[in-house]
Amino acid sequence: MRMNRPILAATVAALVIISGCQKDDSEKQAAPSYPPPQVSVISTKTESLPITNDLPGRIAATRISEVRPRATGIVIERVFEQGSHVNAGDVLYRIDPAPFQVLVESAEGTLRRAKAVQLQAKQAADRQEQLKKSGVATGQTYDDAIAQLAQADADVAIAEAGLATAQLNLQYTNVTAPITGRIGRALITEGALVSANGSENLATIQQLDPVYADFTQSATDLIRLRKALQDGALAGDRNEAKVNLVMDDGSAYPHAGKLLFSEAAVDETTGQVTLRGEFPNPDGDLLPGMYVRVIIEQGVEKDAIAVPTQAVQRDTSGNAQVYVVKDDKTAELRTVSAGHVLGDQWIIRSGLKAGEKIIVEGFQKVRPGAPVEPADWKPADAQPAGAKPADAKPAADQAGTDGAAAKPAEEAKPAEQAK
């Protein structure tokens, strides 16, 4: 019996090893094989796409006028309502007209006296002309009468000019709006003394329909676009560029504008070129100094390839990458050169060609070289971020629901049997 104990121990160990190997083989045989993950793809194609740039800008009034007095006196009334819309010629302030009315009356009296002297001189000249024809008056007397008439005519002209000046100064006591627009706050009050030769600014009027949008663009980008237009890589005319606005809150401004011009000089400190667009502002939504983003279309890129923005990834170095489904239905992670964003698409400058399949959805469960099951991507079928399918309930919730539904049914059976 003692000699058989080692043999017995070895036999037991061998049986344990054999059973373990059989268990491993059965587990390997029971392990399920998962099918390739399903992904949504698009087929790339070349098309003509607009070259748009999103540039920062500020709103500016098309016309700005400072209201200044043209007569010296005391302001007796402010007529306009601050912040309201005024038309050219509307009375804004009234200056005390009494001194100017007196000057007008004095000028009228001077004119009447000059006309009386003119009438007397004319009558004398007529008499001297008759006497000269009769041979009674000398030529010198006649010449003197004609000279006095000419002097009287000049005095009348001077008096008329003096009256016109006095009337004009009286008219200037009504300070009117030089342009149509929105007037700001009143910078003086009633009782203030203003001077025609002073620098007082009574108020400021700004024309806000239309308005300007001044925005800047890198001189490098502008030169590159112009060179591309000249070389034929881009189509279009920069002088007919389409311009749109995006408000500070991200909403699109409903009225399109037009590009007026670009500066002929580059800012030395920033290297930017200033451009100006004009936009209608019928509702007064755009105010001077407001920050906006200007979307300007500066050409059309020929044979461009665009992919949805969600298909583009970035590596740790910031390089753009996309998953490409090869002919053998395996995924390839490819580095591409991404240009600018157009709506919800990236313009790919290089790295892709027409007819390739790009993974748009499902690349989170894909690794390079792994097989995939591609299907056409339909944006309308894409669910919002964070949304869950209706049938994707947690297993615990489904079990709880099914149990809750089955329990009353099981309890109903004894009740029916009891009846």
What's the confidence (pLDDT) of residue 407?
40
- 119 shares its domain with 149: yes
Do 261 and 281 belong together in one domain?
Answer: yes
**55 part of a folded domain:** yes
Domain count, the chain: 3
Residue at 18 is within a domain: no
On whether residue 295 sits in a domain, the answer given is: yes
Residue 88: which CATH number?
A: 2.40.50.100
Domain that holds residue 234: 51-61+207-300
Residue 81 and residue 128 in one domain? no
Domain co-membership, 217 together with 265: yes
Please write down the HEC assignment for all residues of the chain.
Answer: CCCHHHHHHHHHHHHHHHHHHHHHHHHHHHCCCCCCCEEEEEECCEEEEEEEEEEEEEEEEEEEEEECCCCCEEEEEECCCCCCEECCCCEEEEECCHHHHHHHHHHHHHHHHHHHHHHHHHHHHHHHHHHHHHCCCCHHHHHHHHHHHHHHHHHHHHHHHHHHHHHHHHHCCEEECCCCEEECCCCCCCCCEECCCCCCCCEEEEEEEEEEEEEEEEHHHHHHHHHHHHHCCEECCHHHCEEEEECCCCCECCCCEEEEEECCCCCCCCCEEEEEEEECCCCCCCCCCCEEEEEEEEEEEEEEEEEEHHHCEECCCCCEEEEEECCCCEEEEEEEEEEEEECCEEEEEECCCCCCEEEEECHHHCCCCCECEEEECCHHHCCCCCCCCCCCCCHHHHHHHHHHHHHHHHHHHHHHHHC
Do 245 and 149 belong together in one domain?
no
250 with 293, same domain: the answer is: yes
Q: Is residue 309 part of a domain?
A: no
Planar angle of CA 60, 64, 65, nearest 5 degrees? 170
CATH number for the domain that contains residue 149: 1.10.287
Asked if 114 and 227 sit in the same domain, the reply is no
Q: Residues 125, 137: one domain?
A: yes
Does residue 262 lie in a domain region?
yes
Return averaged pLDDT per consecutive 10 residues of the chain, 419 residues in all.
Answer: 55 57 51 76 85 86 93 93 92 94 95 94 88 77 88 94 95 94 92 89 92 86 67 51 85 88 76 87 90 83 83 87 89 86 81 88 85 83 42 39 40 40
Residue 291 is assigned to a structural domain of this protein: yes
Query: How far out from the chain centre does Cα 407 lie?
Result: 63
Same domain, 212 and 278: yes
Please indicate, yes or no, whether residues 114 and 189 belong to a single structural domain of this protein.
no
**What pLDDT shows up at residue 70?**
92
Task: Say whether both 103 and 89 belong to one domain.
Answer: no
Q: Is 405 inside any structural domain?
A: no
pLDDT score for 271: 81
Predicted TM-score (pTM) of the model is 0.60
Q: The domain that contains 266 carries what CATH number?
A: 2.40.30.170
Question: Looking at residue 32, what is its pLDDT?
Answer: 59
Q: Do 121 and 108 fall into the same domain?
A: yes
Query: Does the residue 29 lie in any domain?
Result: no
300, 51 Cβ separation under 8 angstroms: yes
